[in-house]
């Protein structure tokens, strides 16, 4: 044993930190991590990693990471056993339900849920058994418009077209910065290399972004665009293509309804009219449309910048249309659908827009989930259906959702907050019970979602690197621990949920693989993919390039593509009005920014990642800084309708005039957190400024980009401690 302990071994697994799912080769001796590198033998990521991968060990070893449940007792935290914590959480949840009704308990699922397959598999059962009025998730501060467009056009929220980046000849990218984010709604590890390959094969990259991003700097063309006006640009591109008879929908035309309505619907959006609002000259728009249509294979792709804005749903619809009318949907080099080994399209509900609405503002639900922009008011608003207890799973909505300070006040007013989370952070500091899961290295992983979004069909199963201690629980065990204590379903329902818990994630995965498109079926020794076969491929399996699959894969009731879905068409008059709404002279608009060594709000506790220059700084065009008399490095106040923060100013011609850029996920100065490193790099939260009232009315997705702000000098800089939110 002792000899084994001392021998260094190599462990292969997929990184769970972002959507790129890079293969890692981790060298370990006993419980000590010696090195984390890219796995060169991973056929998909080919050795690519980013600096965050190395920080996996910091997360694992972090003394601030919670290993056992905490309960708040008389204002102080006490460590309690799992039995006690789960019993107590369940008892108090039941008590709220008994006194106020079932709909007094809500659930919020944060982003890492999607990166923890146990949580992803077992959260739905907990939610079903609670029958809460409302569930919320990070989806509505993120990719909700993609799901809306997918549902309305293709019939399933997960029929998400992925840019075939490896075969395209022309990539038109709006509001995405994959060189930093490593790709989103497009799992493509090593995007930098893939973009270099695109250009090496004679292809073109065009980036549309109010900031000349790291990705824009690699592009053939970069266009600044006034935040929030992309739908106008996209409509003008489509109109130009239709006017100039460049539309070639090809074989899919026979499967589409509504294509002939498009010229009428888009009549108002001539490039000449759109130019003023977008800030892009008409001749550039026309040229953009022509080169897109002329490319042998082209794809338009838009992400956070065009999703989390007022016209997010229109943007994602118009992007799909641009690909469709130019014949680039469902063809190599265009926007394609995956055939993942576990097919979530076959195994999950299609989704539904509307049905239920939020009780205060009447925002629509999507798939039973309400927009998180409404969470605070659903807690604070008096009346039936008021939320009195909240369970958060892998979420930090105080820093990640609009108007964080209002949400903090709401969380304080709850009768009960239970947080399934490894940290005492800005959200969980308000909890009554914190239930911390194992670290990523202590559990196995299969990427149910990111294989669905990958630019090749791939599959990889990662076993746990370390055995968790007896006092630790996986996310799924915590969720199941709550579920079995709370389930009041019928005998049949409870039996089904009990059975899936007995099977556990691994056997559920095996069943999913067997019944998937590459599966061995249910015969024990059938040929084809099952968990055992996947286990024999420690570097992951490449299942081939994406293949055309329409109309077969459509899930619309008539198996046709809806090119002009009514809920989206109904939003066009609002877009027309935006043609006339030019911003007042001298006004400023706030947009977001990501950093390679950061991951939303929760990786700022790794000292390794926190080195270098201060990141939570406001970028402003030098002409605006000069006009406002603001000096480089000075502290400025950024003020919006809902709040005010103070941050250092960095004049930069990276951002266009009239635009300021600030990263989100900062603001670690709040008392009562246990984040030693992050507190020393507190910064201020962009979501103290974002406005919970500003949403895309089609689906309630939050407007995080394009927030009207004012920027002022801070009168007495000495009175301000770094990153402090002065309104608290
Ligand atoms: N202004 C602005 N706001 C934004 C964005 C923006 O661009 N601008 N981006 C938005 C986007 S895209 C997203 S996805 C959201 C994210 O919103 P959230 O998901 O609410 O927030 P995160 O910062 O990702 O916080 C993740 C939480 O999960 C915990 N955690 C990490 N790993 C695990 C795990 O394995 N299990 C469990 N149980 N917990 C874990 C962390 O400790 C942390 O508390 O933020 C959104 N907010
Ligand atoms: N290093 C790192 N990687 C990450 C994350 C992280 O926090 N750090 N977060 C992960 C998550 S949860 C997600 S969802 C993805 C997001 O992945 P991306 O969407 O690729 O990342 P962002 O940096 O949010 O890119 C949004 C871009 O939109 C631009 N923008 C803002 N407003 C507008 C507008 O109105 N129009 C246009 N055209 N552009 C606009 C911004 O300047 C920015 O460059 O990244 C993931 N990967
Ligand atoms: S790019 Fe994403 S998946 Fe790859 S190593 Fe970095 S954080 Fe992990
Ligand atoms: Mo996200």
pLDDT tens sequence across 544-581? 999 999 999 999 999 999 999 999 999 999 999 999 98
- The predicted structure's pLDDT at residue 348: 94
- From residue 205, how far is each of 231, 397, 656 by CA, in Å? 20, 34, 20
- The predicted structure's pLDDT at residue 248: 97
CA dist 391 and 202 (Å) reads: 51
Atom of ligand 1 nearest to the CA of 436: 38
Number of Cβ atoms within 10 Å of the Cβ of 64: 17
CA dist 715 and 163 (Å) reads: 48
Same domain, 94 and 178: no
User: Between the CA atoms of 428, 429, 430 and 431, what dihedral angle is there, to the nearest 10 degrees?
Assistant: 50
The reply to whether 359 falls in a domain is no
Number of Cβ atoms within 10 Å of the Cβ of 35: 12
CA dist 121 and 117 (Å) reads: 6
Same domain, 320 and 411: no
Nearest Cα to Cα of residue 591 among 309, 214, 215: 309
Same domain, 50 and 106: no
Nearest Cα to Cα of residue 713 among 618, 631, 636, 622: 636
Identify the three-state secondary structure at position 695.
strand
CA dist 141 and 402 (Å) reads: 8
Ligand nearest to the CA of 189: 3
Indicate the pLDDT class of residue 278, thresholds 50, 70 and 90: very high
Domain containing residue 30: CATH number? 3.30.200.210
Ligand nearest to the CA of 179: 2
Looking at the structure of the chain, the number of domains it has is: 4
pLDDT tens sequence across 411-423? 999 999 999 999 9
- The predicted structure's pLDDT at residue 34: 97
DSSP class of residue 222 equals E
Indicate the pLDDT class of residue 5, thresholds 50, 70 and 90: low
Same domain, 299 and 207: yes
Number of Cβ atoms within 10 Å of the Cβ of 48: 23
- From residue 120, how far is each of 93, 387, 665 by CA, in Å? 21, 23, 23
Ligand nearest to the CA of 213: 2
Atom of ligand 1 nearest to the CA of 401: 47
Number of Cβ atoms within 10 Å of the Cβ of 380: 16
Return the best residue to mutate from 407, 602, 685, 704 for the ligand 1 pocket (most ligand atoms within 8 A of CB): 602
69 strand-pairing partners: none
Ligand nearest to the CA of 22: 3
Same domain, 113 and 219: no
Expressed in angstroms and rounded, the spacing between residue 174 Cα and the centre of ligand 2 is 10
Average pLDDT value over all residues in the chain:
95
Domain containing residue 234: CATH number? 3.40.228.10
Domain containing residue 431: CATH number? 3.40.50.740
Enter the tokens of residue 421. 């989370």
Indicate the pLDDT class of residue 721, thresholds 50, 70 and 90: very low
Residues 6+ apart with CB under 8 A from 721: 669
Percentage of residues in the chain with pLDDT exceeding 70?
A: 97
Q: Looking at the predicted structure, is the pLDDT value of residue 722 above 50?
A: no
Mean pLDDT of 157-177: 98
178-187, 351-360, 521-530, 669-678: lowest mean pLDDT where? 521-530
Q: Where are the alpha helices (DSSP H) in 552-597?
A: 566-569, 572-578
User: Do 337 and 161 meet the contact criterion of CB atoms below 8 Å apart?
Assistant: yes
The reply to whether 365 falls in a domain is no
- Answer with the residue of higher pLDDT: 262 or 133: 262
Same domain, 698 and 561: no
Same domain, 156 and 191: yes
Same domain, 401 and 528: yes
Indicate the pLDDT class of residue 501, thresholds 50, 70 and 90: confident
User: Do 50 and 30 meet the contact criterion of CB atoms below 8 Å apart?
Assistant: no
- From residue 90, how far is each of 15, 146, 289 by CA, in Å? 33, 35, 57
The reply to whether 364 falls in a domain is no
Same domain, 326 and 298: yes
Q: Looking at the predicted structure, is the pLDDT value of residue 502 above 90?
A: no
Which protein residue has the closest C-alpha to ligand 3 atom 4?
A: 22
The binding-site residues of ligand 2, defined as CB within 6 angstroms of any ligand atom, are 18, 111, 142, 174-178, 180-182, 184, 208-211, 213, 225, 227-228, 230, 303-306, 309, 591-592, 594-596, 598-600, 705-706
- From residue 397, how far is each of 285, 351, 415, 597, 666 by CA, in Å? 38, 23, 18, 21, 12
Longest dimension (CA), the chain: 76
Nearest Cα to Cα of residue 215 among 199, 229, 238: 199
User: Do 682 and 666 meet the contact criterion of CB atoms below 8 Å apart?
Assistant: yes
Instruction: Evaluate: CB of 286 within 6 angstroms of ligand 1.
Output: no
Nearest Cα to Cα of residue 393 among 584, 186, 110, 166: 110
Q: Looking at the predicted structure, is the pLDDT value of residue 522 above 80?
A: no
- The predicted structure's pLDDT at residue 542: 97
- From residue 6, how far is each of 1, 240, 463, 598, 605 by CA, in Å? 9, 67, 21, 33, 30
- The predicted structure's pLDDT at residue 131: 86
Expressed in angstroms and rounded, the spacing between residue 451 Cα and the centre of ligand 2 is 20
Same domain, 599 and 706: yes
Asked if the peptide bond before residue 551 counts as cis, ω within 30 degrees of 0, the response is yes
Mean pLDDT of 479-505: 90
The reply to whether 264 falls in a domain is yes
Identify the three-state secondary structure at position 83.
helix
Residues 6+ apart with CB under 8 A from 524: none
Number of H helices, E strands in the chain: 26, 30
Return the best residue to mutate from 449, 591, 708 for the ligand 2 pocket (most ligand atoms within 8 A of CB): 591
The reply to whether 535 falls in a domain is yes
Domain containing residue 697: CATH number? 2.40.40.20
Which protein residue has the closest C-alpha to ligand 2 atom 8?
A: 599
Q: Dihedral sign, CA of 258, 260, 264, 270? A: positive
Same domain, 612 and 702: yes
Q: Looking at the predicted structure, is the pLDDT value of residue 719 above 60?
A: no
Expressed in angstroms and rounded, the spacing between residue 420 Cα and the centre of ligand 1 is 13
Same domain, 29 and 75: no
Which protein residue has the closest C-alpha to ligand 1 atom 12?
A: 142
Q: Domain limits at 723? A: 583-727
């Amino acid at each position: 044993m002792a000899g084994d302990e001392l021998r260094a071994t190599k462990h292969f697994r997929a990184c769970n930190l972002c959507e790129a799912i890079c293969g890692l080769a981790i060298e370990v001796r006993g419980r000590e991590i010696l090195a984390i590198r890219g796995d060169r033998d991973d056929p998909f990521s080919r050795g690519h990693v980013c600096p965050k991968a190395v920080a996996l060990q910091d997360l694992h070893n972090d003394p601030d990471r919670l290993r056992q449940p905490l309960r708040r007792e008389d204002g102080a935290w006490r460590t309690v056993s799992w039995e006690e914590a789960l019993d107590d959480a369940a008892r108090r949840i039941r008590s709220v339900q008994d006194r106020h009704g079932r709909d007094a308990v809500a659930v919020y699922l944060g982003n890492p849920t999607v990166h923890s397959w146990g949580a992803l598999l077992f959260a739905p059962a907990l939610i079903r058994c609670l029958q809460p009025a409302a569930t919320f998730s990070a989806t509505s501060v993120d990719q909700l418009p993609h799901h809306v467009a997918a549902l309305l056009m293709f019939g399933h929220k997960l029929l998400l077209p992925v840019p075939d980046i490896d075969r395209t000849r022309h990539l038109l990218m709006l509001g995405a910065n994959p060189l930093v984010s490593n790709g989103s709604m497009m799992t493509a590890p090593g995007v930098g290399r893939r973009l270099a390959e695109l250009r090496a094969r004679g292809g073109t990259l065009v980036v549309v972004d109010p900031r000349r991003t790291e990705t824009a700097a690699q592009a053939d063309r970069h266009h600044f665009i006034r935040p929030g006006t992309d739908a106008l640009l996209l409509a003008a591109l489509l109109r130009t293509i239709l006017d100039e008879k460049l539309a070639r929908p090809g074989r899919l035309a026979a499967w589409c309804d509504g294509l002939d309505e498009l010229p009428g619907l888009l009549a108002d959006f001539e490039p000449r009219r759109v130019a003023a609002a977008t800030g892009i000259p008409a001749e550039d728009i026309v040229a953009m449309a022509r080169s897109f249509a002329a490319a042998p294979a082209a794809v338009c792709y838009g992400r956070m910048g065009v999703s989390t804005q007022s016209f997010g749903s229109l943007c994602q619809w118009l992007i799909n249309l641009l690909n469709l009318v130019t014949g680039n949907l469902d063809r190599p080099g265009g926007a394609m659908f995956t055939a993942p080994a576990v097919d979530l399209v076959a195994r999950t509900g299609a989704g539904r827009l509307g049905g239920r609405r939020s009780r205060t503002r009447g925002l629509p639900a999507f798939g039973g989930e309400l927009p998180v922009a409404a969470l605070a008011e659903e807690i604070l608003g008096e009346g039936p259906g008021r939320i009195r207890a909240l369970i958060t799973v892998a979420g930090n909505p105080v820093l990640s959702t609009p108007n964080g300070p209002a949400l903090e006040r709401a969380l304080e007013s709850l009768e009960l907050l239970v947080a399934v989370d490894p940290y005492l952070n800005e959200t969980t500091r308000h909890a009554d019970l914190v239930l911390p899961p194992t670290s990523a290295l202590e559990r196995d992983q299969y990427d149910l979602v990111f294989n669905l979004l990958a630019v090749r069909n791939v599959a990889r199963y990662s076993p746990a690197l370390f055995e968790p201690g007896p006092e630790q629980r996986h996310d799924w065990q915590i969720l199941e621990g709550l579920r079995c204590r709370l389930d009041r379903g019928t005998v049949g329902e409870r039996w089904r949920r009990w059975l899936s818990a007995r099977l556990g994630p691994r056997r559920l995965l095996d069943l999913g693989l067997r019944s998937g498109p590459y599966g061995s079926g249910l015969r024990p020794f059938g040929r084809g993919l099952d968990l055992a076969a996947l286990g024999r491929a420690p570097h992951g399996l490449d299942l081939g390039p994406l293949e055309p699959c329409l109309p077969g894969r459509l899930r619309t009731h008539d198996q046709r593509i809806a090119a002009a879905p009514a809920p989206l068409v109904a939003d066009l008059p609002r877009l027309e009005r935006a043609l006339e709404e030019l911003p007042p002279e001298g006004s400023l608009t706030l947009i977001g920014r990501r950093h390679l060594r950061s991951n939303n709000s929760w990786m700022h506790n790794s000292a390794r990642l926190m080195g270098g220059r201060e990141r939570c700084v406001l970028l402003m065009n030098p002409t605006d800084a000069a006009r406002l008399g603001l000096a480089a490095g000075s502290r400025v106040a950024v003020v919006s309708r809902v709040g005010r923060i103070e941050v250092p100013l960095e004049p930069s011609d990276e951002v266009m005039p009239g635009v300021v850029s600030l990263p989100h996920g900062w603001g670690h100065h709040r008392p009562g957190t246990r984040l030693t490193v992050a507190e020393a790099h507190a910064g201020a939260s962009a979501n103290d400024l974002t406005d919970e009232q500003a949403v895309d009315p089609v689906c309630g997705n939050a407007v995080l980009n394009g927030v009207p702000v004012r920027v002022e000098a801070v009168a007495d800089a000495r009175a301000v401690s770094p990153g402090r939110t002065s309104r608290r």
